[in-house]
């Protein structure tokens, strides 16, 4: 009998209702005509009783398709028989189809059940455990509302679902996660810029995951014992991931939606930006001040200040003239530094503004239902919005980028306001005179328009928990029409990823072998394949400092490992102490950038002597670790693994790690324990079982799955190396270009058995077709093996230093059987061997005397 055979089950379990709706009496569906396919089965579903029509119109006939995509991924898709419901095109968010396996070759099984009440249910099983089980909960499938509920254990350990500022482990008894992209300044537990309907759960030391592929607005509700999806349309297109490790789940998810893109090495340096620089000369002075303070600066960013009237592809002739910007870029490049500028999608609706005139002529902007251009309001005034579905939009966007980049060939692009953000509700600029610039709405008293509850696209029958009067507030109205005839209601959450995907394609067309650097505020499943991310408009508060860790960890789950928060906070005035503690943490975000708003006091980290010293110390550790961090990022590219990780990913059997979001790990080897409390000069840090070596003095902490109190003076951040690991490093420098000219070093942190392993990935850091080299390191019994694993990259710098933690009494070195001269410095239980010159492109055996 097939594992998916229909079985009878009598169960009716109630789920706490967290919203104003009543679907408990809906009949659900009954399955019939179950038919095998090469890698699964499909079935017909019909309503199992009178229609509810409670939040839309019940769709009476559905199709269930089950596919075993791979040994670790199961696809369960419930769609309307007529396929009239909107589904995401493969061109927008392409998904890996998998090779397909037999059910017997899968780590997951599925069985269908039927209960009364409840109708059809399905159970996804790993071994004998159901990791997703809808039994007893009716499937509601209406044209504007889908509801699916699964049992989860009481007190479940669930991570993911967002984007929403929150603590890392979701409250299993009281979480409503709304997925509707919104321009909002990081309010606690509310929906903000991106939508990611993926979660992972930890049970008994093992992880599994689930993803719903749907672009509509939705609530995902965690109540005690259940997870419930409430979706405003589309289909129930689920993927399940077997794990069993956290890295397995993220790898399986990113295999589906797209592995993270390769980034240029320089992007891992330290970046500075603010909104509010008054001139190119002021930015020049900021760059010089970083140099004078001996604080590394990789890239100078400029916000919308550089634009003429805040219009894309323009330069303020007085404050940021193009010629001066060109000279600034030349100076930056002469010092091996970079420039990144912001670009917004909204285009001023002004016939005298050439980008608009060309776009209007080519018919590339989003439309009202009557066919006129949809006109909202953003920084330059009344604006139109590129329609990424329009047939000519690629040619138009490429032309605008070409003109801009031909004039100023910047090194990276920052895509902001691409939810898309609009300051008014509806097409407020339609019919207004060309070029009229209204005042900012929050500076004037403007009553909200009456809500049209008779239009289900403006006011859907089910109101997701989007904290605005309408889901059209602060964005393109949901009744706006795209070139493919689809209303904004269905594709709203796709706007940011479509802009990023097209922009990346154009940048790669311009420089086919160069790695583009894109930073995007709005994201969706698969955005990591085209762009990096920052967590938006946070505030200069201690709580935001703490929550930034969880936000960064969330995006590791979402498949966007190159992520960071605005260091020292974007909104409001920071303080010296907060900024010092923030740079100590932010130096270890994968993407490390200080940034704040024009209405706040400047916060470049050289402005306080204490913050400058904290920055120098923390960034010195970051830059030393860049070979290791770059290697971790290559693991993201090849396997999807996060760079920044929570302790629970590495130590799932440690109870204290389950909800720890006060620390983070870089890869599996480096533990960062920042101060997150004002006035504190110590930090209580969790150390899982094993040895952990202090980065600075090499002293050892014996981890016992308990917290240890560490000294944390104002200018100090605690960094520890996990025993059993080998960390490749280079000497810190002021730029990544200077760093890459330095020799390599290995920190060998031996475990209780006297062993350690590690790896190093190397390439030119710039091109897509660069030769590469993977090196593996293994240490045991006072012997180190260096083994090239793949690639032919000629490593330009030698290995010059070995730092052996937990290895005393070394007197010398033998390399491939030949004694070599070196300097020996033995301190306590460790030894440092320097003045070596060992090549890193041949197999090498190093013996310690």
Tell me whether residue 324 is one of the annotated catalytic residues. Answer: no
From CA 177, how far away is CA 316, in angstroms rounded?
41
Task: Tell me how far the alpha carbon of residue 228 is from its chain's centroid.
Answer: 24
The one catalytic residue in 79, 142, 344, 416 is 416
What's the order of all strands across the beta sheet hosting 218-223?
140-142, 145-151, 226-231, 218-223, 174-179
From CA 425, how far away is CA 476, in angstroms rounded?
8
3-state secondary structure 291-315: HHCCCCCCEEEECHHHCCCCCCCCC
The token pair at 524 is 């969706």
Tell me whether residue 537 is one of the annotated catalytic residues. Answer: yes
Provide the Cα torsion 367, 370, 376, 380; round to 10°.
Answer: 70
From CA 261, how far away is CA 265, in angstroms rounded?
12
From CA 534, how far away is CA 412, in angstroms rounded?
14
Cis peptide before 420 (omega within 30 of 0): yes
Task: List the one residue out of 212, 211, 88 whose CA is nearest residue 494.
Answer: 88
- 441 DSSP assignment: G
The one catalytic residue in 79, 186, 303, 537 is 537
* Contact call for residues 815 and 846 (beta carbons, < 8 A): yes
What DSSP string runs through 579-644? Answer: HHHHHHHHTTSSSEEE---TTS----TTSSHHHHHHHHHHHHHHHHHHHHHHHHHHHHHHH---SE
Tell me whether residue 166 is one of the annotated catalytic residues. Answer: no
From CA 35, how far away is CA 44, in angstroms rounded?
9
| Secondary element (H or E) of residue 231 | strand 226-231
* Contact call for residues 58 and 51 (beta carbons, < 8 A): yes
Q: Treating both helix axes as pointing N-terminal to C-terminal, what angle do 609-639 and 246-257 enclose, rounded to 10 degrees?
A: 70
The one catalytic residue in 308, 419, 473, 477 is 419
Question: Cβ-count burial of 162 within 10 angstroms (0-12 exposed, 13-18 middle, 19+ buried)?
Answer: buried
Sheet strands (E) in 364-442: 376-378, 381-384, 412-415
Let me know how long the chain is: 849
Residues with catalytic annotation?
416, 419, 537
């Amino acid at each position: 009998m097939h594992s998916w055979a229909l079985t009878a089950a009598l169960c009716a379990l109630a789920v706490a209702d967290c919203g104003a709706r009543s679907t408990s009496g809906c009949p659900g569906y009954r399955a019939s005509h179950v038919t095998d396919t090469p890698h699964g089965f499909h079935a017909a579903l019909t309503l199992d009783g009178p229609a509810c029509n409670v939040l839309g119109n019940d769709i009476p006939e559905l199709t269930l398709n089950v596919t075993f995509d791979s040994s670790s991924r199961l696809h369960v898709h419930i769609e309307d028989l007529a396929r009239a419901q909107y589904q995401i095109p493969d061109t927008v968010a392409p998904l890996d189809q998998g090779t397909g396996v037999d059910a017997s070759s899968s780590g997951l099984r599925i069985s269908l059940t039927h209960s009364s009440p409840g109708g059809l249910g399905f159970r996804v099983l790993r071994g004998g455990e159901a990791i997703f089980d809808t039994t007893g909960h009716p499937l509601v499938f209406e044209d504007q509302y889908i509801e699916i509920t699964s049992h989860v254990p009481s007190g479940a350990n669930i991570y993911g679902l967002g984007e929403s500022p929150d603590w890392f482990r979701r409250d299993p008894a009281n979480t409503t996660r709304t997925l509707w992209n919104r321009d909002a300044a990081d309010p606690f537990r509310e929906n903000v810029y991106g939508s990611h309907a993926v979660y992972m759960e930890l049970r008994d030391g093992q992880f599994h995951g689930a993803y719903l592929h749907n672009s509509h607005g939705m609530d995902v509700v965690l109540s005690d014992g259940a997870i419930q999806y409430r979706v405003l349309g589309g289909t129930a297109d689920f993927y399940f991931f077997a794990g069993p490790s956290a890295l397995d789940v993220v790898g399986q998810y990113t295999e589906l939606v797209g592995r993270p893109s390769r980034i240029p090495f320089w992007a891992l340096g330290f970046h500075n930006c603010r909104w509010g620089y008054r001139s190119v000369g002021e930015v020049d002075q900021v760059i010089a001040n970083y140099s004078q303070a001996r604080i590394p600066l990789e890239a100078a960013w400029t916000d919308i200040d550089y634009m003429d009237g805040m219009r894309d592809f323009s330069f303020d002739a007085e404050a940021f003239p193009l010629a001066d910007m060109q000279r600034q870029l030349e100076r930056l490049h002469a010092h091996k530094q970079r420039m990144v500028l912001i670009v917004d999608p909204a285009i001023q609706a002004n016939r005298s503004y050439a980008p608009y005139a060309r776009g209007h002529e080519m018919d590339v902007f989003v439309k009202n239902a009557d066919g006129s251009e949809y006109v909202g309001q953003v920084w330059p005034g009344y604006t139109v919005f590129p329609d990424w579905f329009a047939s000519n939009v690629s040619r138009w966007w490429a032309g605008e980028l070409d003109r801009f980049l031909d004039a100023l060939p910047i090194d990276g692009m920052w895509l902001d306001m691409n939810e898309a953000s609009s300051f008014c509700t509806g097409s407020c600029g339609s019919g207004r005179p060309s070029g009229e610039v209204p005042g900012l709405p929050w500076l004037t008293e403007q009553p909200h328009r009456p809500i049209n509850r008779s239009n289900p696209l403006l006011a859907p029958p089910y109101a997701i928990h989007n904290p605005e009067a309408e889901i059209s507030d602060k964005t393109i109205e949901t009744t706006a029409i795209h070139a493919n005839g689809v209303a904004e209601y269905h594709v709203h959450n796709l706007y940011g990823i479509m802009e990023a995907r097209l922009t990346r394609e154009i940048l790669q067309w311009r420089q086919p072998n160069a790695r583009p650097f894109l930073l995007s505020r709005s994201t969706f499943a698969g955005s990591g394949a085209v762009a990096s991310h920052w967590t938006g408009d946070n505030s200069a508060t201690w709580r935001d400092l703490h929550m930034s860790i969880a936000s960064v960890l969330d995006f590791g789950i979402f498949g966007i490992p190159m992520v960071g928060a605005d260091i020292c906070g974007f909104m409001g005035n920071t303080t010296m102490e907060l900024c010092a503690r923030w740079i100590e943490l932010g130096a270890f975000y994968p993407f490390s950038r200080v940034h704040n708003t024009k209405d706040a006091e400047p916060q470049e980290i050289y402005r306080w002597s204490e913050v400058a010293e904290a920055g120098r110390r923390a960034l010195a550790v970051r830059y030393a670790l860049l070979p290791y961090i770059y290697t971790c990022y290559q693991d993201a590219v090849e396997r999807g693994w996060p760079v920044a990780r929570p302790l629970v990913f590495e130590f799932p059997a440690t109870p204290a790690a389950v909800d720890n979001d006060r620390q983070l790990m870089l890869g599996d080897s480096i533990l960062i324990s920042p101060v997150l409390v004002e006035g504190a000069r110590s930090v209580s840090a969790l150390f899982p079982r094993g040895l952990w070596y202090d980065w600075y003095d090499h002293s050892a902490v014996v981890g016992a799955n308990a917290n240890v109190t560490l000294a944390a003076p104002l200018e100090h951040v605690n960094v520890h190396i996990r025993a059993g690991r080998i960390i490749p490093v280079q000497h810190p420098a002021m730029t990544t270009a200077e760093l890459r000219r330095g020799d390599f070093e290995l920190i060998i942190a031996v475990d209780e058995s006297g062993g350690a392993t590690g790896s190093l990935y190397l390439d030119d850091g710039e091109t897509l077709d660069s030769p590469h080299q993977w090196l593996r390191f293994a240490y045991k019994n006072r012997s180190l093996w260096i083994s090239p694993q793949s690639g032919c990259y000629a490593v330009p710098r030698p290995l010059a230093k070995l730092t052996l933690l937990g290895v005393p009494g070394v007197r010398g070195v033998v390399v491939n059987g030949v004694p070599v001269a070196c300097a020996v410095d033995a301190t306590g239980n460790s030894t440092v061997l320097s003045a070596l010159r060992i090549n890193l492109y041949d197999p090498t055996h190093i013996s310690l005397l």
